[in-house]
Amino acid sequence: MTHNIWLYILVMAAVTYLIRVTPLVLIRREITNKTIRSFLYYVPYVTLAVMTFPAITEATQTPLSGFLALAAGIVLAWVGVSLFGVAVVSCLVVLIAEFFLV
Amino acid sequence: MNDNRACFLRGMKDGIPIATGYFAVAFTLGITARSAGFSAIQAMVASLTNNASAGEYAAFALIAAGASYLEVAVMTLVANARYLLMSCALSQKLHPSIPLGHRLLIGYDVTDEIFGISVARPGYLNPWYTYGAMAVAIPGWGLGTLFGVIMGDILPLRAVSALSVGLYGMFLAIIIPPARKSRIIAGLVAVSFAASYAVSRFSLLDGISSGMKTILLTVVLSLAAAILFPVKEEEQQHDA
């Protein structure tokens, strides 16, 4: 079962573009259905949370260093550190932790 | 005409911090793309045609696991579903007379950040402002991915391991601040972590790909939240 990477890219790009452009082209009025609005509102939080854990503990050389990066990321984001800052410090935590763990 | 030019330049200026952030995040995305078997050029083309961190990451992870085209399409749809809501909101910022061509172009780069600065403009949006930001941000995103794939080959394992969590750090920076403001979102994030962990450990579900688990968890948990805690209009405004 071999897959063509260019075809994957085409599928990804087409789906992503349609999601973005369809409302801009078709919808000139606001969506009023409360459940649909709420569903769309919650989707990013659930998707990103599900993709982050436990995957972050599996991406690193040791689960503990990934877990420490998760804890640091949550604390920093909680106190309002920027997106870029949280990403950089998470990386540094893993780098430092793995000097001791690996 | 002059007005369009001024808007474009203003958009470029506002796009600079977005581009630097994109470069760093796309770099870690490139590392993921490399592990999915993408060449540097393929990964850059994927980034230039998608402009979506979580969506691309989810798709790369699935492709690495040998998923079907349909699975990748559904995963991309779910991971990027939030752009549907953003585009709905952005459609309210466009003057009804804005022609189709502009709508097709703006739709190319509705990201969390570009949407954020575009929707924050006073009054109706001048599309040229968004184009200015896109002109700076999109190359940052594409080049970051390119270098991520190239450098991922050269960098020691220790550095790749560290950089691979950068993307998760970015995800946390998106979901945690709203969780601080809303107990419902905080609870939802906690439940999502727990459910994701439980599903990954539940051996009866081993036959289902990790991407499909993400899709199912997202639909079930978001729908449950939407039914149990319908969002009031004022709360949605904070999300921009």
Average pLDDT, chain B: 85
Residue A92 forms contact with B (CB below 8 Å): yes
Q: Could you write out the three-class secondary structure of chain A?
A: CCCCHHHHHHHHHHHHHHHHHHHHHHCCCCCCCHHHHHHHHHHHHHHHHHHHCCHHHHHCCCHHHHHHHHHHHHHHHHCCCCHHHHHHHHHHHHHHHHHHHC
CA distance A102 to chain B (A): 9
If you write DSSP's letter for every residue of B213-231 in order, what string do you get? HHHHHHHHHHHHHHHHSPP
Residue A2 forms contact with B (CB below 8 Å): no
pLDDT for B41: 93
Interface of A with B in 10-69 (CB under 8 A): 11-13, 15-17, 19-25, 27-28, 30-31, 34-56, 59-61, 65-66, 69
pLDDT (tens digit, 9 = 90+) per residue, B129-150? 999 999 999 999 999 999 999 9
pLDDT (tens digit, 9 = 90+) per residue, A43-75? 778 888 988 899 899 888 899 999 999 999 999
How far is residue A81's CA from residue A76's CA, in Å, rounded to a whole number?
5
Contact between B43 and B145 (Cβ < 8 Å): yes
pLDDT for B240: 38
If phi over 0 gives left and psi between -120 and 50 gives alpha, with beta otherwise, what is residue B38?
A: beta
Q: How confident is the model at residue B239 (pLDDT cuts 50, 70, 90)?
A: very low
pLDDT for A83: 75
Whether ipTM tops 0.90, in short, is no
pLDDT for A29: 65
Residue B227 forms contact with A (CB below 8 Å): yes
pTM for the predicted model, two decimal places: 0.72
Q: How confident is the model at residue A88 (pLDDT cuts 50, 70, 90)?
A: confident
Contact: A43, B217; criterion CB under 8 Å: no
Contact between B63 and B37 (Cβ < 8 Å): yes
Of the candidates A98, A102, A75, A79, the one whose C-alpha atom is nearest the C-alpha of residue B163 is A98
Contact between B186 and B178 (Cβ < 8 Å): no
Contacts of A57 in chain B (CB under 8 A): none
Instruction: Determine the distance from the C-alpha atom of residue B189 to the mean position of all C-alpha atoms in its chain, rounded to a whole number.
Output: 17
Tokens of B102: 């502009």
pLDDT for A102: 79
Of the candidates B111, B104, B15, B14, the one whose C-alpha atom is nearest the C-alpha of residue B54 is B111
pLDDT (tens digit, 9 = 90+) per residue, B37-75? 899 999 999 999 999 888 898 899 888 888 889 988 988
Contacts of A40 in chain B (CB under 8 A): 81-82, 84-85, 88
Residues 6 or more apart from B210 whose CB is under 8 A from it? B61, B62, B65, B200
Residue A71 forms contact with B (CB below 8 Å): no
Exposure letters B102-129 (e unless 16+ CB within 10 A, then b)? bbeebbbbbbbbbbebbbebeeebbbbb
pLDDT for A55: 86
Q: Exposed (0-12), middle (13-18) or buried (19+): which is B41, by Cβ within 10 Å?
A: exposed
